[in-house]
Each structure stands twice: as C-alpha cells, then as structure tokens.
Amino acid sequence: MVGGRGGRVDLADLAGSVGDSSTVDAPTNSDGVFRANVPLGQLVANPRNPRAEVGNLEDLATIAERQLQPGTVVTRAAWLALWPEDAAQLGAARWVVVNGCRRLAACHHYQRAGMDVVIRDTIATNRESVLWAAIVENIDRQDFDVLEEAHAVELLVAETGSATVAAERLGRSSGWISQRRALLKLAPELQQALREGELAVRVARSLARVPLAQQVAAWRRAQDRCDEPRGSDTGSRQTFPVEAVARLLRRTKANPDQIAAALRETYDESQLAELASLLLLPG
C-alpha cells in the first residue's frame, strides 16, 4: 500500500498501531500474514496448550540470534470468539501462539526482543480445529510427556464428542485413542512412575484396567515377581495343568471378554488383582 508521500505502509504494521477495534485485526483480513519480530508483550502462549511444561529449552538456545521457523498465531478477537472466558489470561496480548509455545518460552528465556509469527485465523474456525492444531504439533515428539499426550487426546474427544471422530482427526486407530485415554485412569503414583520412565506404557495400560485402589499393589507385586529368580517356584507351577487349560481355551475359541467374564465369576477382587499382576510379567 502506498502512503500519501509515496512511502510504503506495511498492513501488518498498520494492524499493530490502530488498536483492537481495527478491522485489520479481524479474522477475515489476517490469515496468512507474516509478522517479523513481534514484541513479546503482544504474544501469549496458548491457554489450551496440551503441554503442561515447556521442558528443557537448551535445544532452542540459538533462537537468541536467529529464529528458523515462525510461530503460528491467531488474533485475540478470533480466540475470544471461541473462548471468551480466557480474556483475563490473554491480558494485553494481541496474538495467541497456537504452535510455537516452546519457541515463545525460549524467546523469553534467552532474552530475544521479539518473535516471528504467521497469523492463521482459519485454524480458529471452531474449538476442535484449534485443539487439533496444537495437538498435531506435539504428538509423538520424544519430549512430549505421554500423559500430556493422553490429556490432549481426552480434550479432543470431549470437544468432538466422539473417540472415533478424534481418531480420524489425528489419523490414529480407535485402539490407540482408547489406550492413551486409559492412562488417565492410573493412580497418581503410577502416573508419576510413567513420567519418570519407571513404568512402561505397555504395562501402564494393563494396570489401568485394575481397580484404582489396587493398582499400586498390583504393580509392586509384578515388580517383585520380575525380581524373583526364574524357576524358583517351578515345582508348584508344574502341578497345574497349564497345557490342558490352554487347549480348552483354544478349543472353545473364547475371546478375552468371555474369559474375563468367566474369571470374574470365579475369583474375588483380590484374586483378580493378583491375576492382573501376573499377566504383566514378561513372557
């Protein structure tokens, strides 16, 4: 755009100078606009970010000198149209960072004056789209806490109203979705063990099926048995007709649901918890 004296006026800069009431900030006029070195005070991290922590920022130390990839933001107006209750959390910020919250944190940490961003109000057409955009950036990253991933999946399921729809949006199977959601049923002690790498995701999924009050005990029993020398109780186990039962299961072609129903008819809760812990043992 050419100014009155022949100078050029950057519409993006104009948007930052005319106030919140300008139509330049409206979602329909902002999509795809690149803004370089936006002052950090005008940016706020996504209040709905599935990441609870930004983690170690050492891998982003070079951002102090050069930002290789711009963040993705939506305008304040577009965000508040979806989440008006977030007004206080946005403070005076003009833009909400949907993708690039770690980059924003690194800019603050390494004292960079501003951050390069691209405005994408088209991702703020509805809440589901915003959540999806935030999740797909982080999912499967090695530094993305598996429980944060589970919480993110749960948020998307709640927003879409369907685990099947959430699976389709993320390009995952329904089984993967249910497995991630199951981790949220773990006792706090087990969730912490999962975060610290002491509890494998595979084992955690199995423990999530044990009643909450019995999960920790079941995990400890499984750990104790893993520590026992192999063959320490070989004699007692050989007296049980394992092969005969296995043949019976194969002959009847019982599925896991049917077997579980039969076991619930046979054993009490403590015995079922014991069985669950035994099933967690490596083959």
Instruction: Give per-residue burial for 149-188: e unless 16+ CB within 10 Å, then b.
Output: bbbbbbbbbebbeebeebbebbeeeeeebebbbbbebbbe
Q: Can you say whether the dihedral through the CA atoms of 82, 84, 90, 92 is positive or negative? A: positive
Comparison of pLDDT for 169 and 139, the residue scoring more: 169
Q: For the CA atoms of the chain, what is the radius of gyration?
A: 26
pLDDT at 164: 92
What is the side-by-side strand order in the sheet with 114-119?
A: 34-39, 114-119, 71-75, 95-99, 43-45
CA distance 269 to 126: 45
CA distance readout (Å), 151 to 56, 158, 181, 224, 229: 20, 10, 7, 30, 38
Section 24-36 average pLDDT? 66
Could you tell me how far CA 197 lies from the centroid of its own chain? 17
Section 214-236 average pLDDT? 67
Mean pLDDT (the chain, rounded): 79
CA distance 215 to 206: 10
Q: Which two tokens stand for residue 140?
A: 């499967």
CB 184 within 8 A of CB 158: no
Q: Which two tokens stand for residue 97?
A: 């960072």
3-state secondary structure of 115: strand
pLDDT at 39: 96
CA torsion 222-223-229-231 (nearest 10°) is 10
Render pLDDT for 132-162 as a digit per residue (tens, 0 to 9): 888 877 775 655 678 888 888 898 899 888 9
Render pLDDT for 87-120 as a digit per residue (tens, 0 to 9): 999 999 999 999 899 899 999 999 999 999 999 9
pLDDT at 151: 87
CA distance 94 to 104: 14
pLDDT at 281: 63
Nearest to 278 by CA among 210, 213, 211, 189: 210
Task: Please provide the CATH number assigned to the domain covering 11-125.
Answer: 3.90.1530.10
Q: Which two tokens stand for residue 207?
A: 């423990």
State which H helix or E strand residue 74 sits in.
strand 71-75
Instruction: Give per-residue burial for 263-274: e unless 16+ CB within 10 Å, then b.
Output: eeeeeeeeebbb
CA distance 107 to 190: 34
Looking only at the bridges linking them, the beta strands covering 95-99 and 71-75 are antiparallel
Q: Can you say whether the dihedral through the CA atoms of 200, 206, 209, 212 is positive or negative? A: negative
